[in-house]
Amino acid sequence: MIQQQRYEGGDLKILYIQTTAMQQVVANFPEVVLLDATYRTNKLKMPLFVFMVVDGFGCSHVAAYCFVANEQQPVVTDMVRTFVSLNSATVDTKCVIVDKDACEITAVRDAFSSNPSIQLCEFHVKRAFKVAVGNSGHSSEEKVKLLSVLGAMLHAANDGEYMEEKAEFERLANAELSTYFAVNWDNCADMWVRYLCDKHMNLGNNTNNRVESHNSKIKGILRNSDELHVALRGLTTIHAVLISEQEHARVVASSTRRYAYTNDSVTVDECFNVLTSYAAQLIAKENSKLKNATDITVQGGSGCDYTVKTVHAEYSVTADVTSCTCRTYVSMGIICRHMLHVSVHSGASIDVQRSVHKRWFKCSQIPLTATASTSSAHSIGQTGLISQPDYSAMSRSAKYNHAFRALKQVADCIADCGAQQFRQRMQVIDDVIGLWSRNVEVVVNAVDESGIEEANMPDEVEEATVEPESPVREELSQVNEDATSEDTHVAAVQDNAAEPPADATELPVHPTDEETEDITNARTEESREPGAQVLTMLRNSNLPIVKHPRGRPKGMKDSCTGMKRGRKRARCPAPKNAHSTVHT
């Protein structure tokens, strides 16, 4: 499925790409959505946004691609609204992970009806802290201490630790840095402080590394000189390959049984039977942590909720041992070590079906196939947009390169032939080159093994050699009757050819470019997929003239960091009359 939105003047605004397989993945795993943009993937300088989700095996899946004209607030908001409107399962989205871009944050808040938790990528948070401290004017030792305090605030375990580190930061920081932190970070602590982020289901994702890894693969295929339709086909090809790899990993995981030899818990054994290997291994790790823990105490019971106390915090486990208030259970939706400890302490069994989120069960996983994306890529290729660009706008150098790539495929086909067939086909090529050098048009017709053309030809064809002045066509290649495979029948058509006699055999003639386009549109209009129709229009799509700044196109007002971009200081050139002094 490919959708596009245009400005009033007709310029392309948004190009949204989502296959059936992508929609199915979002429908089954909508809890956490990762969003990030990458650049330099097409000639029009359109940023490419990637939506991504995580399945029950812990694998990343692309949920949608979207090219946008720019990263202004209305455009980004329309893009996110398109994603939400086409995926009804987003009503169950619990968390959206983005960079430090204010436009993306505002768009998510406006578009998602589920009011998900918005969390910032930890990598970008640390980088923003480093830039802010570096420009604060402190000494080197003070900068090291400030970064250490900010890191402690980022990974604080509770409110008490956060407030202690915050007080230490305010004591060390100057007025400018304290104001910057209060305006840009302290008022949105729930978006970057880890213990606050883990109060929502995020599946353990604290960065956008999954999307960044996929973007690096995209950069290996797409170039900043690619046309938009070329980039689109590259994306569908990449997605088909990724689905094939994920299908292979899923088959391996489904056909193998994992065991924990040091496990003595009946609950963990049941998890290995009904849950995915990824979720079962996480629960087995929780059981291993429980064995090594010596500071866990349990209070309560007898129909009431249990209270589990550790060195760092205090958690509440329900009386039926189906949920816990710890970060592991809330953020991952799996059985935690506190629930396992309550089960051992009270002797109550844990109901895995009620205690674990449905996304982790084997029965909830969907069989992925590369059929949808592969067929999409194949349909894009059938439109001829990739192999037949706009020849009228091509320079001689571009025509030469395009023809060279096509003739390379011809050379690959000829190189695999036998000696006799190779000689025959080379003769055909020599004849074509000779005719083209004399500005004579050539028509190519396929023939079967018996030497009869596949076109509507009479049973008996007489081959005649005529003078160049004759108005009839002359056959240039002798068909080998002993050939074991299809060969080529070449006919030369004189530029000044008149109407052939009534008894002459009429060979198919190529129509003009306008006739070819009309015939192709008429034949493929009914069978053409929506994606192919959009690609046809993309060939001549234009964008508004926008001057993009160098680097990441985000200004100070579009960033929640509030910091100006650093500029390299220009070195002062030495005076022309300066002389060096040599000391002996």
Nearest to 99 by CA among 29, 47, 34: 34
Contact 87, 100 (CB under 8 A): no
Could you give phi then psi for residue 383, rounded to 5 degrees? -70, -15
How much is the pLDDT for 551? 53
pLDDT band at 511; cut points 50, 70, 90: very low
- Burial call 152-179: b when 16+ CB within 10 Å, e when fewer: bbbebeeeeebeebbebbeebbeeebbe
From the centroid of its chain, how far is CA 312? Answer: 40
* pLDDT band at residue 582 using 50, 70 and 90 as cut-offs: very low
219-259 pLDDT tens trace: 888 888 888 888 888 888 888 888 888 888 777 877 777 76
On the CB side of 287, how many CA atoms lie within 13 Å of its CA? 21
Mean pLDDT over residues 571-581, rounded?
51
pLDDT score for 394: 77
Domain boundaries, the chain: 2-121+207-247, 123-197, 266-364, 417-511
Query: Which pLDDT tens digit goes with each residue over 524-572?
Result: 443 344 445 555 555 555 554 544 455 554 444 444 444 554 555 555 5
Could you give the count of Cα atoms lying within 13 Å of 151 in the half-sphere of its Cβ?
10
pLDDT, tens digit, 9 for 90 and up, residues 255-304: 777 766 667 788 888 888 889 889 999 998 998 888 888 788 888 777 78
Which stretch of DSSP H or E encloses residue 68? Answer: strand 60-68
Mean pLDDT of 415-421: 84
10 Å CB burial of residue 509 (0-12, 13-18, 19+) is exposed
Fold entry, domain 2-121+207-247: Nucleotidyltransferase; domain 5 (3.30.420)
pTM of model > 0.85: no
Q: How many helices (H) and strands (E) does the chain have?
A: 20, 13
Residue 191 has pLDDT above 60, yes or no: yes
| pLDDT value at residue 422 | 87
What integer pLDDT is reported at residue 495 of this predicted model? 44
